[in-house]
Amino acid sequence: MKRNIFENWILLTTYRQMVSIWYYFFMSKNDQMTTATEARATHASLLDAAAPDDALQALLDGQIAAANVVRHAIPAIRMAANAVAQAISDGNNLIYVGAGSSGLMAVADGLELPGTFGISREKIRLVMAGGVASFSDIIGAADEYSAEADLEAHDLNQNDCAILVSASGSTPYTVSAIDFLKSRGVTCIAIANNPDTPLLEAADIPICLATPPEVLAGSTRMGAGTAQKMALNMLSTLAGIQLGHVHEGHMVNVIADNEKLKKRACRMIADITSCSNSAARLHLEHSKGSVKIAVMLASGAENRGMAQSLLRQNEGRLGPAIEQLKINLENQ
């Protein structure tokens, strides 16, 4: 059942209160003067003196502690996925913005969407401090620049949606980006690892991943980055589900344009329809690489045109389209 705006506000308010309580009680008074992402984890001073296996165990424990924080952000992640799915469904842009290691997490998620869910590459905009050069050498000083010029290079509109990621929640590049995007009416989702920060406060949908201090103090590519990656994976996958690009655990909107993907597509078609692998391959060829159309053909659609028509009538959702096809076949 869909929640109204008031219920969503209550959920977000409760979530923010939980984050603030955690931050107050579980951070030392000294660490509260420093942000959690810059503080040092308990016993981290012994890391370099520890036996290799003990050091690795400490590093793993830090990752697990960070991952556990994501569970508390599920309500906010769900709201963010709704906003992303709506923007994509309406043909608008999805913009990813970040700097440093947080920017890499954002860009990685954006780059995966076309291949995973068949979303148009032209609708995914990647904006990172330092530009393409940052993929080979992350330039720290780029974090301090304004993002306005980088964003102005893209043709954005007020119905677009943006995901901005910053471990500290106060990175100048990312904060300037949200200010610019908000001035254009873009719906802004912010992911940060410190509560009560400028990025989260400016966001339409704030996602606070209040990860504990890093075992390697300030190295937010570790625990904070792990939590960011998990949240982004969850967010974009739920958006894909809501767009009808997932069926029975398969990513059915993938376009099979190489041999590896063709084999994967054939396995999907065979699993969903219980047809043979050779039949799946034949249907995939007739569908011109579309898994959804191939599944419809394997389910009894007379031709590609009929399969496309049934999918359009059901907003691209394979399950309802198959059910409608079954009813049509029974009534013949």
CA distances from 53 to 42, 56, 57, 101, 181 (A): 18, 5, 6, 26, 46
- The per-residue pLDDT for range 297-325, each reduced to its tens digit, is 999 999 999 999 999 999 999 999 999 99
Which tokens go with 89? Answer: 């469904």
Round to whole Å and give the CA distance between 277 and 272. 12
Within 10 angstroms of residue 306's Cβ, the number of other Cβ atoms is 16
pLDDT band at residue 145 under the 50/70/90 scheme: confident
Residue 266: give the domain boundaries. Answer: 246-330
- Find which of 23-37, 93-107, 136-150, 211-225 is predicted with most confidence, using mean pLDDT: 93-107
Same domain flag for 200 and 253: no
Per-residue pLDDT, 189: 98
Residue where a domain stops, chosen among 208, 242, 276: 242
Average pLDDT over residues 266-276: 96
- Distances in Å between the Cα of 60 and the Cα atoms of 50, 56, 65 are 14, 6, 9
Same domain, 295 and 179: no
Give me the pLDDT at residue 186, please.
97
Distance CA 136, CA 139 (A): 9
- Examine the domain organization and report whether 75 and 203 are in the same domain: yes
254 & 275 share domain: yes
Cα–Cα distance measured from residue 322 to residue 172, given in angstroms and rounded to the nearest whole number: 50
Does 190 have pLDDT greater than 70? yes
**SS3 (DSSP) at 205:** strand
More confident residue, 297 or 132: 297
CATH number for the domain spanning 68: value is 3.40.50.10490
Residue 263 maps to which CATH number? 1.10.8.1080
Give the domain-ending residue among 207, 242, 277.
Answer: 242
Weakest mean pLDDT among 27-41, 108-122, 226-240: 27-41
What percent of the chain is helix, strand and coil (3-state, nearest 5)? 60, 10, 30
Q: Are residues 174 and 279 in the same domain?
A: no
- Using DSSP, state whether 5 is helix, strand or coil: helix
Contact yes or no for 163/179 (Cβ under 8 A): no
Is residue 258 located within the same domain as residue 124? no
Question: Residue 266 and residue 278: Cα distance in Å, rounded?
Answer: 8
Six token digits for residue 1: 């059942």
Residue 136 has pLDDT above 80, yes or no: no
Whether 139 shows a pLDDT value over 80: the answer reads no
Q: Are residues 276 and 177 in the same domain?
A: no
**Are residue 17 and residue 161 in the same domain, yes or no?**
yes
pTM, two decimals, is: 0.83
Task: Return the closest-CA partner of residue 234 out of 256, 264, 209, 265.
Answer: 209
Which residue is listed with tokens 């165990």? 57
- Is the pLDDT at 9 greater than 50, yes or no? no
216: pLDDT strictly greater than 60: yes
248: closest CA among 229, 273, 227? 273
pLDDT tens digits along 71-80: 999 999 999 9
Q: Do 290 and 251 fall within a single domain?
A: yes
Per-residue model confidence (pLDDT) at position 203? 97
Q: Does the pLDDT value for residue 43 go beyond 70?
A: no
